[in-house]
Chains A and B, each alone.
Chain A
Amino acid sequence: MKLLERILKYQIITSLCVLTLGAVLFYFSVNYLINQEVNKELMRSKAKVSWQLRHIDELPVYILQLGDSLQLDPVRYPGQMALVERKLFNDIENEYQPYRQLVFYERVEGAWYRVTISKLLAQRQQLLEAVVMTVTFIVALLLISLLLLNSWLSRRLWQPFYKTLRALDSYQVEKHEVLTFSKQHTVEFEQLNQSVTQFTDRLAATYQNLKEFTENASHEIQTPLAVILSKIESLFQDESLRESQVLALSEISEAANRLAKLNQALLLLTKIENRQFLAGTEPINLVPIINRKLRDLEDLIEQREITVKTAIEPTGPVMHPALAEVLVNNLLTNAIRYNMNGGTIDITLHAARLVVRNTGAPIHIDPELMFERFRKEGTHSASLGLGLALVKTICQVNGQTLTYETDGPWHILTVTW
């Protein structure tokens, strides 16, 4: 939920609570005041009635207001004075209406009378409702207009924040971008923008450093390796070497070659992770890459008597062409390396999906673990154990998904984009 929506939500909830509670309290307090007033009037009427009963034989009608009524009943014994509320039938309105009655006992000329003064509450009730409704309505209107003003103002005031957020959202460190913003009047937003600018500035510098470090490391490691390999090769030309020395040299040579390959593969992996290969805008057609690779690997495939079946349509993901090469290369070489002699490779490419299926020995671990660096099943000494890690990294960088499943003798690698 958006920030402003959340704020609005809480504001509305609070307003509604306050409004409801306020309206109820207001109703009861007004009601109480009116009741008090009615009671006072009844007591006043009682005083008048008592006085008149004691001093005058007949009760004048005018002492009670319209709608009120007075009733005298002779009783044998007096009772307690009581104030009650009840509905009585009103002849004029022809319906039951609420009344408040004051019942008290008075002794007139030796006989006890129960005096009941009834007061019509209907008009007071209507007045009460009208007052509470009007006030509630005014307060509600005030709250709504305040909320509207508030949300409009928030949207306006928070605009720079959303601008910054959008800029951060589309930020790509590999573009060496530093985000800059126009000056803001709000101190907090100005502070935020300055922080973001400083942060991206540092980030770009660090990224540049890292990239340079990778390049330099490559240079620094490759050069001594080149020296080692060139010296070994020169030594091989020396005919005075004994056979055992030549054999040792040969093993050194193999190890050094392997080290060189490992270094190159790790550097490539680092470069991809550093996102130094930015995707273009056009999708890469994988068909020519697959065909070229299959042609290159033709004799290896033939030698191992592997059958290759292809069902490929001209399609492909949006990515750097060099990475597309590495992706296809590693998927195909993987399918050959871990195949069995006389096995099959099945390549399907269509509708945003590249599937490479190959026969091979079953693996005894979770296939997904094969994406880890230096993970090898079995003893393929020539393998660096980086092939599938490279494929995985390429897919991650380009937002593709890579899955590894096994189905009987089949190993199925699927790239989806």
Chain B
Amino acid sequence: MKLLLIEDEKALATSIQTYFQRENFICEWAANYRTAVEKINIYRYDCVLVDLMLPDGDGLEAVRELKRSFPETGIIIISAKNSLDDRITGLNLGSDDYLTKPFHLSELNARVQAVIRRRSFQGSQQIRFGKIQIDPQEHLALVDQQEIVLTRKEYDLLVYLIANKNRVLTKESIAEHLWGDDADLMDNFDFIYTHIKNLRKKLMDKGCPDYLKSIYGVGYKFSEQ
């Protein structure tokens, strides 16, 4: 998978690049509008991450450019601008998603994977992890071909965990992924624990090994080891 990151903040760009390299993605970086347009016109990317405020141009222009040359490329806008107008303009121009800074890298990762999945053809849409198989279109989760009945939140949680497999996920990022702005409603994160516990139980009931590792004080890690 090949990604292009258009972002003028070097420190942030490095973090994102490192994060995706661990995912075995090729993540190229353009620090300004000019480089971005050059790269867009030469190479093909599976997904492009665009910051709207660039030192030498408007990120929305880059989105337009990209839509003209490679309409099948997935686009995620990452912006500090949370204004409704920009969000709507961005989505109207054909970007697939809009993420407001600051965001969790794990959240960005999950969104990138979802965009790539939606943009690719059938077959590769299936998500597999160990004994688990997920059909995102049907919202169906299987362990060894047997369906497990999950609530909407448990399903979202499972997809999120698999997208960020082999990584430490903080409780904040999980809470924000599942409840968005309402995440701060939970005065402690016991509530996530309830969902994690239920999900783990349902998976293990179907003969799944315990993939979920709890990391004291931080969060969780989903891995095969």
Contacts and interface: CB of A to CB of B under 8 A. Distances in A.
Given A296-B182, A381-B187, A234 B18 contact: yes
B16 A236 contact: no
Given A230-B15, A233-B105, A246-B218, A219 B185 contact: no
Contacts of A268: 82
A225 interface: yes
Contact of B191 (A226, A243, A303): A303
Interface string B171-188: 011000001111011111
Sort chain B's interface into a size bin.
35 or more
Contacts of A226: 9, 12, 80, 101-103
A348 to B, nearest CB: 22
B186 to A, nearest CB: 7
Interface stretch (A47-55, A81-89, A250-258): A250-258
A265 to B, nearest CB: 9
Nearest to A258: B184
Contacts of A303: 191, 194
B206 interface: no
B68 interface: no
Contact of A264 (B82, B104, B188): B82
Nearest to B18: A234
A141 interface: no
Contacts of B170: 233, 236, 250, 253
Given A234-B15, A246-B218, A253-B172, 6 more contacts: A219-B80, A220-B80, A225-B101, A233-B106, A247-B218, A382-B185
Interface of B: 9, 11-12, 15-16, 18-19, 22, 53, 80-84, 100-106, 151, 153, 167-168, 170, 172-173, 179-182, 184-188, 191, 194-195, 215-219
Nearest 4 Cβ contacts at the A-B interface: A230-B15, A226-B102, A222-B80, A219-B80
Interface of A: 215, 218-223, 225-231, 233-234, 236-237, 243, 246-247, 249-250, 253-254, 256-257, 260-261, 264, 267-268, 271, 276-277, 296-297, 299-300, 303, 322, 329, 333, 336-337, 380-384
